[in-house]
Structure 1
């Protein structure tokens, strides 16, 4: 588990590269905002979190509860989910907008085409919508 990265993950790098190619400029992991969002778009007053399905307990085919140390993992993952909700609320209260991209949108059997994910994010960044979640089918 020590080799698991919290930043510069493959899904995050894919999103960063594609949005940069579309002309969006951002800061990375800004410590001035709660939760150190993965991408901060100051011009659009928006942030994007790229969540791993396992670590954040997403209800999708990529997530399943571990069979060993069940108490530890339930506490860990539910704690992460509670922190995610709290951080999102804090950022919204500061007048920022929040986007979440789940790992399953980019990989796995049921992933979305990258162009669709980037189109959705581009549209959201240019809109006034407060939040977006990709994918939102689960």
Structure 2
């Protein structure tokens, strides 16, 4: 039985995870393999960062390109349905991300944003992590 389009869309959107995503798992495995130990999703920090390196005072967010409005091909896609809602939502996400980063930096944390599309190139990602975590 086929679902009406709005119910099908709702079902798809409910399945989108905010934690433990495939790109986040790639970054976590790579950091761990480099011998770096971290904490996950601390609720006492603004934005609940994906990876927290407390001794280094460094934080990594792994952002989905579409959800956080990256300028890559995937992030620049325009929704076909309910476009006004999605444009506004992604704009709010970008504003919230900027505020979160500003607050974290004012608290003495270094912040790195890794975009979903950047997890595809393993060598470049490893270099980025090594540079940031030293």
| TM bracket (short chain) | 0.7 to 0.9
2:70 alignment counterpart: 58
Deviation at 1:115, TM superposition (A): 2.3
How many positions carry a matched residue from both structures? 121
Aligned with residue 97 of structure 1, among 100, 107, 110:
110
Deviation at 1:84, TM superposition (A): 0.3
User: TM-score scaled by structure 1?
Assistant: 0.85
Give per-residue Cα distances to partners, 1:60-83, cap 9 Å, x unaligned.
Answer: 111211021111101110000000
1:21 alignment counterpart: 33
2:90 alignment counterpart: 77
Alpha-carbon distance in structure 2 between the residues aligned to 1:104 and 1:123: 19
Give per-residue Cα distances to partners, 1:69-126, cap 9 Å, x unaligned.
Answer: 111101110000000000000000000000000001124xxxx2x1221221121111
> Which one has the largest radius of gyration?
2
| 1:34 pairs with 2:50 | no
For structure 2, the residue ranges without an aligned partner over 5 or more in a row are: 1-12
CA RMSD in angstroms comes to 0.9
Alpha-carbon distance in structure 1 between the residues aligned to 2:64 and 2:109: 22
Partner of 2:52, secondary structure, is strand
For structure 1, the residue ranges without an aligned partner over 5 or more in a row are: 127-138
Q: Which has the higher helix share?
A: 2
Deviation at 1:43, TM superposition (A): 1.1
User: TM-score scaled by structure 2?
Assistant: 0.87
